[in-house]
Amino acid sequence: MCGIVGYCGNRDAAGILVEGLKRLEYRGYDSSGISVGFENNLTLIKKKGKINNLKAAVPSDMPGNYGIGHTRWATHGEVNDINAHPHMDASGKLAIVHNGIIENYMSIRNKLIKEGVEFTSETDSEVIVHLISKYYEGDLEKALKTALKHLKGTYGIVAVHANEPCRLVGARNGSPLVLGIGDGEMFLASDVTAMIAYTKQVVYMEDGDIVVVDKDGFRTTDLRDNELDKEISTVGWDIGEIEKDGYPTFMEKEIFEQPESVLRGMKGRLDFEQGTAKLGGLNMSSRELRMVNRVIILAAGTSSYAAMVCAYLLEKVARIPASAELSSEIRYKNPIVEPGTLYFVVSQSGETADTLYAMRELKRKGATVLGICNVVGSTIPRESDGGVYIHSGPEIAVASTKAFTSQLTAMYLFTLIMARMRDMSTQQGQMIVESLAKVPEQIATVLEQNMNIKTIADKYAHCHSFFFLGRGLTYPIALEGALKLKEISYIHAEGYTAGELKHGPIALINEETPSVFLVPDDGLREKIISNMKEVKARKGPIIAVAVEGDTEVADIADDTIFIPKANELMYPFLMVVALQMYAHHTAVKLDRNVDQPRNLAKSVTVE
C-alpha cells in the first residue's frame, strides 16, 4: 500500500526520494509525488501513474537537500495528480505525506472549511496538513503533536516545514515508520527497502512515537513530550536481495530462490538425533506447550492457505485439534478465547491490518498469540507473545511465493515439536526430519520442470476460467494455485476440494474450462482419480500435478506436471511451486504486470 520516504542530509534530495519511491513500488500504488526543500522554499511535484511519470517531471538538477516522497494507493478520492501526496498548506511552506486512514476527517474538514481553509484534494490526508498549519507557530514538532490530538484513525506521517530547513518530523500510529541513520544523513520511510542502499542502521518506530530528525541526529518522544530511548537495529540483508539479479520479474526470482529460502528456514532448527525441531522464539516452556489442547491459526490471502495446510498437519501428525481462520472474519466474530488454546498469526509482511487487528482483539481477551512473519521488526512480531521469523528474505513481488513455503517450513517444525512432545516416536520424528531436509532439493527438481510448465501454461492461457482441485493437505494448495493464477493473470480461477466438485461446480465443466488436479500418492489418490474421470466424462481438459512415474494419472490427464516422489506430508511444498510457475508463465504469456498486478498491494494496511 502507500509508501513514505523522507530524506535530510547533504546530497540532492530529489534523486534519493525518487529512487526510494521506486524501491517502494512493490507495495502497490497508483500515483506518486515529492516535495523538496531548498533553503526556505519547498517545491511540489505529483503525478498520477507510475514513478517514471514522476521521474520525467523532476528536473535532473533540482536543488534541495531535504524532502519527502510518497506512493499513494487510493482509498479516499480518485487516482489523479491532485489527490497524490505530498499535501501542502496554503502558505506553500508546509508539506506532509501520510499512510493510513483518518476516520474523523470529514468533521475536521467541515470545521476547517468554516474557518476559511480551502481544500484542493478529496483525500482524508489533506486535513492533517491544514491542522498542523493551524497550530504552527514556528515549531513543527509542537504543531504536529497538537494536530495529532484531534485525529482518529491510523497514520504514518512525515512533515517538513521550509522555515525549519533540513528537518523531518514523523509520527506513527498503526502505519509503519522506520528511521534510517546514515553518515551525516537521515531517512524516514515506511520500510527499509527505501533506504537500504544508504544505511543498514535503523530504528523501528512504535505506535505513539514522534521522531524529529535532522542530518546529524534524531530525537524520539511520545505525544506528551516524554523522551524515548530507542534501540538501533542492523538490517540483516543486502541491497542485492531486492534486485532482480538477471530474472525478468521479481516473482520468477523469488520462485527460484525457494530451495535456499526453505533451507534457511530450517537451518539450525532440525534435530536429526531426537527427531524433533528447535524454535527459539516461541517464549513458551515445554510444560506450557504440553498444556496446549487446541491451535487456531489466523491469516489472510496466501498466508491463510499456509495456515490451512498447517491446521491439517497439526491434527494429522500431532493429533491436536487445529483450525485456520481468516483474520478479517475472526475479529468480528467476538471470538471465544478458551484456556489451553494457542493462537498463531501468519503474515509475510507483519503489517496486514486484518491480521494485526484480529491479533490485538485476541490478546485483549487474554489469548497467547505467536507470530510467524518474514519482515523483521514489523508490527505483528513486535506485538505478539513470541514466534518464528521465517527468514525467506525480502519478498518484492506482490504475489507471495517463497514466503508461503517458508511459512510452511516454520509450521512443520512447530508441528514436529508438538507431535514429539505427545505420542510421536523418535523413529517417526526422525523420518519426518529427514523428509523435511530433502525438501529444498526436491523443490529444485520441480524447478527443472520450468519449460514443460511453460508449454502447458501457454497452451491454456486463452481460457477464461480454471478449476484447481485437491484433497486433504493439497486442498489449500489448490486454493493457493487458484489465487496465484487470478491475481497475476486476471483469469477467473476457483479452488475446490475435489470431492465437492460433483456437488455443484461440475455444472461449469466444459471443453474450455481446464481443471488442474493435484494428485499425491497418498490415501486419497484413488478418490482423486475418480474425480478426474468425472471431469473427463464431461470433456473438461485436465492438467495433473502428479508424482513421477504415475502413468495412470498421466494417461487420464491431457497434460501432466511431474513432481519427485517424497514423503506424502511434503507434497504441499512441491505442488505449490509447480502452481506458482504455472501462474507466472500464464501471466507472462498474457503480458501482465507480473510483479505489480492491478489493484493489489504488497502490504495491505487497511481493513
The CB-of-131 to ligand M6R minimum distance in angstroms stands at: 31
Pick from 71, 352, 596, 605 the residue near ligand M6R by CB under 6 A: 352
Pick from 258, 400, 497, 531 the residue near ligand M6R by CB under 6 A: 400
Task: Select the span of 15-23, 48-56, 294-302, 328-336 touching ligand M6R (CB under 6 A).
Answer: 294-302
Tell me if residue 8 is catalytic. Answer: no
Query: What would the grid cell of residue 283 be?
Result: 517464549
DSSP H helical ranges for 267-386: 286-290, 301-313, 327-330, 353-364, 379-383
Nearer to ligand M6R, 203 or 482 (CB): 482
**How far, in Å, CA of 469 to CA of 490, rounded?**
19
The CB-of-504 to ligand M6R minimum distance in angstroms stands at: 25
Helices and strands in the chain, H and E counts: 19, 26
3-state SS class at 255: helix
Nearer to ligand M6R, 358 or 547 (CB): 358
Residue position matching grid coordinates 492457505:
305
Residue position matching grid coordinates 516461541:
282
C-beta separation of 83 from 123 below 8 A: yes
Pick from 369, 399, 547, 577 the residue near ligand M6R by CB under 6 A: 399
- E strands of 458-506, at which residues? 465-470, 492-497
Residues 453-512 that bind ligand M6R (CB under 6 A): 487
130-137: long-range pairs with CB below 8 Å, 24+:
130/89, 130/90, 132/89, 132/94, 132/96, 132/159, 133/89, 133/90, 133/91, 133/94, 136/94, 136/161
Task: Select the span of 36-44, 77-85, 238-246, 392-400 touching ligand M6R (CB under 6 A).
Answer: 392-400
* Active-site hit among 46, 93, 484, 602: 602
* Active-site hit among 2, 8, 310, 373: 2
Q: Is 300 in the site for ligand M6R (CB under 6 A)?
A: yes
Pick from 33, 86, 182, 301 the residue near ligand M6R by CB under 6 A: 301
Task: Select the span of 26-34, 397-405, 411-419, 523-531 touching ligand M6R (CB under 6 A).
Answer: 397-405
Convert 374-443 into a string of H (helix), E (strand) and C (coil). CCCCCHHHHHCCEEEECCCCCCCCCCCCHHHHHHHHHHHHHHHHHHHHCCCCHHHHHHHHHHHHHHHHHH
Residue nearest to ligand M6R as judged by C-beta position:
301
The CB-of-301 to ligand M6R minimum distance in angstroms stands at: 2
The CB-of-303 to ligand M6R minimum distance in angstroms stands at: 4
Nearer to ligand M6R, 303 or 560 (CB): 303
Query: What would the grid cell of residue 62 be?
Result: 533540482
Nearer to ligand M6R, 349 or 405 (CB): 349
The CB-of-79 to ligand M6R minimum distance in angstroms stands at: 20
Phi, psi of 496 (to 5 degrees): -140, 155
Max distance between CA atoms of the chain, in angstroms, equals: 79
**How far, in Å, CA of 245 to CA of 240, rounded?**
8
How many residues of this chain interact with ligand M6R, rule: CB under 6 A? Answer: 15
Q: Is 355 in the site for ligand M6R (CB under 6 A)?
A: yes
For 74-106, b/e burial (b = at least 16 CB within 10 A) is beebeebbebbbbbbbeeebbbbbbbbbbeebe
**How far, in Å, CA of 556 to CA of 384, rounded?**
48
**How far, in Å, CA of 449 to CA of 456, rounded?**
11
Nearer to ligand M6R, 181 or 482 (CB): 482
Nearer to ligand M6R, 560 or 605 (CB): 605
Nearer to ligand M6R, 37 or 393 (CB): 393
Q: Is 276 in the site for ligand M6R (CB under 6 A)?
A: no
Q: Is 251 in the site for ligand M6R (CB under 6 A)?
A: no
Q: Is 604 in the site for ligand M6R (CB under 6 A)?
A: yes
Residues 321-350 that bind ligand M6R (CB under 6 A): 347-349
The CB-of-323 to ligand M6R minimum distance in angstroms stands at: 18
Nearer to ligand M6R, 398 or 501 (CB): 398
Q: Is 600 in the site for ligand M6R (CB under 6 A)?
A: yes
Task: Select the span of 31-39, 299-307, 428-436, 541-549 touching ligand M6R (CB under 6 A).
Answer: 299-307
Eight-class DSSP state of 519? E
Tell me if residue 310 is catalytic. Answer: no
Eight-class DSSP state of 477? H
Nearer to ligand M6R, 199 or 355 (CB): 355
**How far, in Å, CA of 279 to CA of 57, rounded?**
50
* Percent helix / strand / coil, the chain, rounded to 5: 40, 25, 35
Nearer to ligand M6R, 398 or 432 (CB): 398
The CB-of-50 to ligand M6R minimum distance in angstroms stands at: 20
Pick from 303, 384, 474, 586 the residue near ligand M6R by CB under 6 A: 303
The CB-of-142 to ligand M6R minimum distance in angstroms stands at: 36
3-state SS class at 182: coil
Nearer to ligand M6R, 482 or 604 (CB): 604
Nearer to ligand M6R, 355 or 489 (CB): 355
Residue 380 CB neighbour total at 10 angstroms = 23
Phi, psi of 96 (to 5 degrees): -135, 155
Query: What would the grid cell of residue 536 be?
Result: 473427463
Q: Could you report how far apart the first and last alpha carbons of the chain are, in Å? A: 12
The CB-of-235 to ligand M6R minimum distance in angstroms stands at: 18
Give the residue among 131, 20, 121 at the shortest CA–CA distance from 70.
20
The CB-of-299 to ligand M6R minimum distance in angstroms stands at: 6
Binding mask 412-451 for ligand M6R (x = CB under 6 A): ----------------------------------------
Residues 86-145 that bind ligand M6R (CB under 6 A): none
The CB-of-242 to ligand M6R minimum distance in angstroms stands at: 16
User: What stretch of H or E contains 142?
Assistant: helix 140-148
Residues found in the chain: 607
Residue position matching grid coordinates 523532476:
58
Pick from 51, 147, 398, 524 the residue near ligand M6R by CB under 6 A: 398
Phi, psi of 349 (to 5 degrees): -75, -30
Pick from 99, 261, 302, 586 the residue near ligand M6R by CB under 6 A: 302
The CB-of-196 to ligand M6R minimum distance in angstroms stands at: 19
Which residues belong to the active site?
2, 602
User: Contact positions toward ligand M6R, by CB under 6 A?
Assistant: 300-303, 347-349, 352, 355, 398-400, 487, 600, 604
